[in-house]
Structure 1
Amino acid sequence: MIRPAIVHEVRTDQRGQEEVVEQLCRLWPRAEVVTALIDERTPEGLRAARVREAALRLLHRSDGRQLPLFGTSPAAVSTADLSGFDVVLTVHRLFAQWVPAPSGIPMVSYVHGPARSMWDPRMRTYGDTGRVARRAWDARAARYQTTDRAAATRPDVLVAASRAVAGRIRAWWDRHAEVVPPPVDVDWYRPAPQRTKDDFFLYAGRLLPRKRTDVAVAAARAAGVQLVVAGAGPSRPALEQMAGRRVQFVGQVGATELRELYRRCAAVVVPGEEDFGRVSVEAQACGTPVLALSAGGSLDTVVDGVTGRLWQPVYDDTAIGSLAYEMGRFDPSAYDPAQLRRHAESFAPGRFCRDLQVIVGRVLAEVERAGTRTSHRSPALRQSVTC
């Protein structure tokens, strides 16, 4: 059995990247995870794996919060010693694939998404910073892009979480990527027996400007429908100020409460452009349709008219009106829970593991046949990258 090094970025919660890493560890029990921080919040399956923390611990404060990306992360990643492994697997969103794999060891990068806040100015949240600070932020983003584009030549194969992510990889990195959706725990998220739907919409996720939770809150108020907002984040005070009396904030919820909300709500609302759309799949696994912006990962996770409704405003300033219109006329009884469930099951962990196993096996076979690595990287990029 092969022994991979899995380079994992800096999170300690169960969502997203952690589920990918956990499945990779189950697929290859001899794998070693190179990451920044393991603590009591880390998923049990990941804590049970062989973990090497030291290489990236520079990226965290003592309270577990991530340090600023620039200046610390490139140096920390480039110190990781990955010799002795059969293959390097990176789980990338910000900087994981900046790691230098030793000569002769192939690299496969699973990409949740190039950092949109660095590549797309529309995704940057400047807050109340002045003009000088904004220019400095833009300059940092430009330096990041140079490093990120160079590092993107390192992997032998790039694997994207969605077609939307593959498109950004092509546009920003000039690389082709295969598409393999991330695993979703559809065994946990499943319909409740004999439950009738309640008359409320659900937003579940972080409360950040880029998530466009403000559009969901304003649309619910305009449509006169009930909306439950499950999640935490810096946008909550502003959202509470604009919310009407039928918008309820329940804060961050655990997996059991989230599953109950999925089961009870009339539909889940996805107002922003997602890289993949895990919430959409979890909701459908519980037999609940989705009302999502027709963009990004939702184009992969929601089948328009079958598992939910994809809406698209003509102009950005019509987003609230467009979503309010869809919420006002949405009929959850038009969707078959069994069909929703079948669609969600196509994102089960088994499919993810099979597809990744085939890709890694193919890369190793190509290296063995050639006798040497056939890599996109140039000799200069074998040195550590800086930003």
Structure 2
Amino acid sequence: MKIAIVHDWLVTYAGAEKVLASMLKIWPDADLFSVIDFLSDEDRKHLGGKRATTTFIQRLPKARTRYQKYLPLMPMAIEQLDLSGYDLILSSSHAVAKGVLTGPNQLHISYVHSPIRYAWDLQHQYLREANLLAGLKSKVARMILHYMRMWDQRTAAGVDEFISNSQFIGRRIDKAYRRPSTVIYPPVDTTGFNLQTEKQDFYLTAQRMVPYKKVPMMVEAFSAMPDKRLIVIGDGPEMEKCRAVCGPNVTLMGYQSFEVLREHMQNARGFVFAAEEDFGISPVEAQACGTPVIAFGRGGTLETVRGLNDDNPTGVFYYQQTVAALTAAIETFESQASRFNARTCRENALQFAEKRFEREMRQFVEQRWNEARLGDAFDCNPVLGLADTGLLLAAAQKL
């Protein structure tokens, strides 16, 4: 069996790339394909040193730093990848990877981090954040997103099985493609974060400073609570907005090493999270350290954090991305502090460990592969009797 793994683009090592790394651990002999591949040597170590076969976009001007500008070309680019020599295609997709061309004798399983967010339900948010609500550029952007939406829906027909990274994304897949999916939560390196039961008197948030993460809102909320301390790890385009509303009780540390991040996660009284994420790895990492979470109550965090309605809560939810809502959540968190237990947080995080992902992913793919081979055998010989089914399935499982 020849296996190809297709990823959208390889530029940084983030959440989607951690899923890819685990897939390559399961199938180390698989060939890797991607629209572009500009990973650093350090990040490439996570992929076992494997390099991807790329598309023509790899050679276009400024593709390394401005690859998002080539999004309108990516559907055509991904379709030019020749996967005709492979039996099994696994795509890791949040944009275009699932759109590779496959034939009737190939099995295509797509692990979907999300349907293209900015082309579907988040289109209007994307246009607002990009200042594209009016004018010629707005019209062009809307035309491109309309085209991407049609292409994304059409290419869903080429996928045999969908895997979603959360129930939240499963609902988004159903909305966009009208297809069912199986939830396999992404891998979280819980072994890299150690349990610490003794906490210090500060809150932590750690993430990229991009608009949907709402970091300035969190900074503003804590600046209005001078008796509480917030440490912010991360950098990005929203840094200047954070500085503008930052009070003396808020520390903006910028980008930090993993060791510094882990130390702060282990020592924090609580981890603050304000994004509507597809899954959200950092709240799970915080819980792996025994640190409870104060999280916006939409998206994947509803599946990874146990709220106060649970007998063994691991966090508090708030339901509006506003200063007032977060302030009230912090007050609730402190009034209910006796209900949070560091070991309970750790136990909750362990259900998202890497070994669990690798086991569930391998079992799912092997089962679908065996079912596909069994179906091929019946197609070739439709008069096979039911008595032969057990023998045939046993033979397929040995392949």
Instruction: Provide the residue aligned with 2:167 in structure 1.
Output: 163
Q: Which structure's residues are more often helix, by fraction?
A: 2
The residue matched to 1:71 in structure 2 has which SS? Answer: helix
Residues 350 and 133 from structure 1, CA distance in 2 versus in 1: closer, same or farther, beyond 3 angstroms? same
Correspondence 1:309 to 2:316: yes
State how far apart, in whole Å, the 2-side matches of 1:142 and 1:70 are: 13
Answering whether residue 212 of structure 2 is matched by residue 207 of structure 1, we say no
* CA separation of 1:116 and 1:71: change in aligned 2, threshold 3 A: closer
Please state how far the C-alpha of 1:155 moved relative to its aligned partner. Answer: 0.9
What residue is the counterpart of 2:72 in the other structure? 71
Give the match's secondary structure for 2:295: strand
- Describe the SS at the equivalent of 2:18: helix
Q: Give unpaired runs (5+ residues) of structure 2.
A: 380-399
Find the counterpart in structure 2 of residue 383 from structure 1: none
**Structure 1 residue aligned with 2:329:** 326
- Equivalent residue, structure 1, for 2:92: 91
Q: Is the contact between residue 105 and residue 373 of structure 1 (CA under 8 Å) also seen in structure 2? A: no
- Following the alignment from structure 2 to structure 1, what is the Cα–Cα distance between the partners of residues 292 and 57? 40
The alignment of Structure 1 onto Structure 2 pairs a total of residues equal to: 367
Partner of 1:230: 233
How far apart, CA to CA, are the structure 2 residues paired with 1:165 and 1:56?
28
Tell me whether 1:184 sits opposite 2:188 in the alignment: yes
Change beyond 3 A, Cα 1:263–1:126: closer
Q: Which moved more, 1:122-131 or 1:102-111?
A: 122-131
SS of the residue corresponding to residue 47 of structure 2 reads helix
Q: Deviations over 1:301-343 (max 9, x none)?
A: 1011311111223xx6xx2201111213423553111111111
Q: Give TM-score scaled by structure 1 length.
A: 0.88
Deviations 1:169-191 (A, max 9, x none): 11122111111100000010122
Structure of greater relative contact order (alpha carbons < 8 Å, 6+ residues apart): 1
Distance 2:344 2:299 in 1: 22
**1:111 shift after superposition:** 0.7
Please report how far the alpha carbon of residue 59 of structure 1 lies from its aligned counterpart in structure 2 after TM superposition. Answer: 7.0
Tell me how far apart the structure 2 counterparts of residues 116 and 62 of structure 1 sit (CA, whole Å): 21
Distance 2:118 2:316 in 1: 27
Superposed CA RMSD: 2.2
CA distance 1:55–1:128, change in 2 (3 Å): closer
Q: Answer yes or no: is the 8 Å Cα contact 1:87–1:105 preserved in 2.
A: yes
Query: Taking structure 2 as the reference length, what is the TM-score of the superposition?
Result: 0.86
> For 2:57 and 2:103, how far apart are their aligned partners in 1?
18
- 2:3–2:86: 8 Å Cα contact kept in structure 1? yes
Q: Percent identity, please.
A: 28
Q: CA deviation at 1:65?
A: 4.3
Map 1:197-276 → 2, pairs under 5 A: 197-224=199-226, 225-276=228-279
SS at match of 2:317: strand
Contact between 2:91 and 2:97, CA under 8 Å: does it hold in 1? Answer: yes
Larger radius of gyration: 2
On the 8 A contact 1:106/1:373 being kept in 2, the answer is no
- For residues 161-208 of structure 1, give each alpha carbon's deviation from its aligned partner in whole angstroms, at most 9, with x where no partner exists: 11111111111221111111000000101224xx63222211111111
